[in-house]
Amino acid sequence: QSSYHKMEITYVYTKIRSEFGRPCQFSDQPVELIVDISPDPTLAANFIERDIRDFAIQCSQDMSVHEVNTVCVESLTSSINHVEGGWPKNIDPLNIDETDRHKKKALKDEHCSTVHNVQQNNAGDIYHLYYEDDEMVEETPDQPSARAITFFRDPNEVKRTATSLSWHPTGSPKMAVAYSCLEFQRATEEMSFDSYIWDFESSSKPDMILKPVSPLICLEYNPKDSHILAGGSYNGRIAYWDTRKGTQPVEMSKLEHSHQDPVYKVIWLQSNIGTDIFSASTDGQVLWWDIRNMAKPTERMVLDLSKEGNLDKAIGAVSLEFEATMPTKFLVGTEKGLVLYCNSKAKTPAESIECTFSGHYGPVYAIQRNPFFPKNFLTVGDWTTRIWSEDIKEPEMTYLMDACWSPVRPSVFFTVKMDGMLDVWDILSKQNEPMLRRQVCSDALYSLRVQDNGRFLACGSHSGLVTLLEISQGLCTLQRNEKSLVASMFERETRREKRIQGMLKEDGQRMNFFMIWI
């Protein structure tokens, strides 16, 4: 089991310089073959060939950026002259000591007069505008904005990571948050396993506590029944809750028939009764469940690229995506940077993985289809966000722990980074830089989810802080001809990539013919 986060240094090994022995003396001598180890063909099966990638290298000198804060003496003197009508009569302007003392006193008084006074009352109103002078700038199409509304903090003394967020499916101001400690070396026996349901109108304490037997890494509301939630645990078990029946899980999967590694994603399937879910884990399996009987999974798929169904050769799954309009197809983001396009109705292991998308060099932490153009999807991994098309096998680069599309605007998507930054992208406006960049917190942001109406966005941090933001009206309102413009852009880029692939293929064939002719 592994965690994809920065490791803390727990111990440093040191050695005295004198214990290293005498310094080495080097001298020139003829080439001499000391040992010749021949390759062992039997070990080739244990190695995975890495895809060759092309990188652009710019041969230019690195320059550092320097900034200097300066103070204009004339402006300072001018500001002093405007305080109480200029210099007092009892102060000699030529006396340096007296003028310096008067300058400091005048600047201090001027600063204190501009400090905002926070209005205090018995009951704090999270929506109250305490700083009345700081009026919000009137929104324009060129000035998008996002402001923090409230915060949900992990109530435990040892803060844990908010690993998963799920909005209430009916639009109610509630959110389910899964908490888990991903720095497993820091986990203790006294650390809480609880996850919570929060209400926007009461952010001081959770609306409900969920008590799993193992920390939850993922948690999802049932879109057909808002009282039902399903979660995946660190010990590999799947559980579901009914909020009408208390804080304990109604039923859990048996340990011997569950995942062998932490469950990183659980998704509800579209069905008439709304009781079917499927889960993905780093043990290399995708399991289907019916919450009415969780003794065993109803189906099982092994993510083996050799298409033999061998669990020993399976690659771990980190993210999962399902689209209701494609009920038999789903996408899996893996630990090795591959995106697997899978068929849930495959009759043999060879048919389960139809194709792969290669481009990331690290785990694919998030994957989601565009709600307006399901054939196009985005992924997050190795600090990059990539937009893909099912028709081509190479990614479209754009410019990071999670990402999601806007549910109301087909050209807008959101990403969160390890430095606590939220980026809002509009591919119709800019492809090389985000249209809005906001520092949400100082910790790493791990999870991200947008409400169905596109108005509210929640970010979960590594320290367990969940920040709720309200998106400006321009970012959650469908623009004129936006859908048709995005459709034409995806079609144009798909045709361009196909042409490039065709040209590369023709060049390869010509080169092979030339070498054969020689």
Element holding 3 (H helix, E strand) = none
Instruction: Provide the phi-psi class of 482: left if phi over 0, else alpha when psi is between -120 and 50, else beta.
Output: alpha
Q: Could you give the CA distance from residue 213 to residue 45 in angstroms, rounded to a whole number?
A: 39
Per cent of the chain over pLDDT 90 is: 41
Look at residue 474 and tell me if it is in a domain: yes
Residues 209-236 have pLDDT tens digits of 999 999 999 999 999 999 999 999 999 9
Instruction: Give the pLDDT confidence score for residue 76 in this predicted structure.
Output: 44
Asked if 313 and 397 sit in the same domain, the reply is yes
Look at residue 462 and tell me if it is in a domain: yes
Residues 103-153 have pLDDT tens digits of 767 665 654 444 444 444 444 455 455 444 444 445 555 678 888 888 899
Pairing of strands 238-242, 225-233: antiparallel
Q: Could you give the CA distance from residue 466 to residue 221 in angstroms, rounded to a whole number?
A: 17
Asked if 415 and 503 sit in the same domain, the reply is no
Between 69-73, 176-180, 436-440, 495-499, the lowest mean confidence (pLDDT) is in: 69-73
Q: Could you give the CA distance from residue 115 to residue 106 in angstroms, rounded to a whole number?
A: 15
| Structure tokens belonging to residue 508 | 């390869």
Residues 316-360 have pLDDT tens digits of 999 999 998 888 899 999 999 999 999 988 888 878 888 888 888
Asked if 289 and 331 sit in the same domain, the reply is yes
Look at residue 490 and tell me if it is in a domain: yes
Cβ atoms of 395 and 384 closer than 8 Å: no
- Number of other CB atoms surrounding residue 15 within 10 Å: 7
**Higher confidence at residue 406 or residue 43?**
406
Asked if 154 and 164 sit in the same domain, the reply is yes
Look at residue 282 and tell me if it is in a domain: yes
Asked if 187 and 150 sit in the same domain, the reply is yes
Residues 284-299 have pLDDT tens digits of 999 999 999 999 999 9
Asked if 398 and 487 sit in the same domain, the reply is no
Residues 40-81 have pLDDT tens digits of 888 877 777 666 666 566 666 656 555 555 444 444 444 444
| Number of domains observed in the structure of the chain | 2
Instruction: Give the pLDDT confidence score for residue 419 in this predicted structure.
Output: 80
Look at residue 28 and tell me if it is in a domain: no
Asked if 284 and 188 sit in the same domain, the reply is yes
Q: Which residues contact 445 (CB under 8 A, 6 or more apart)?
A: 401, 402, 416, 417, 418, 420, 421, 422, 459, 460, 461, 462
Asked if 394 and 493 sit in the same domain, the reply is no
Burial class (CB in 10 A: 0-12, 13-18, 19+), 399: middle
- Which strands sit side by side in the sheet containing 329-334, from one edge to the other? 317-322, 329-334, 338-343, 353-358
Cβ atoms of 243 and 222 closer than 8 Å: no
Asked if 355 and 498 sit in the same domain, the reply is no
| Structure tokens belonging to residue 339 | 């995106």
- CATH assignment of the domain containing 275: 2.130.10.10
Asked if 501 and 414 sit in the same domain, the reply is no
Write out the residue range of the structural domain in which residue 507 sits.
480-512
Asked if 352 and 488 sit in the same domain, the reply is no
Pairing of strands 338-343, 445-450: unpaired
Look at residue 418 and tell me if it is in a domain: yes
Look at residue 7 and tell me if it is in a domain: no
Look at residue 45 and tell me if it is in a domain: no
Asked if 268 and 309 sit in the same domain, the reply is yes
Q: Could you give the CA distance from residue 470 to residue 454 in angstroms, rounded to a whole number?
A: 9
**Beta strand ranges found along 46-173 (DSSP E):** 146-152, 161-167
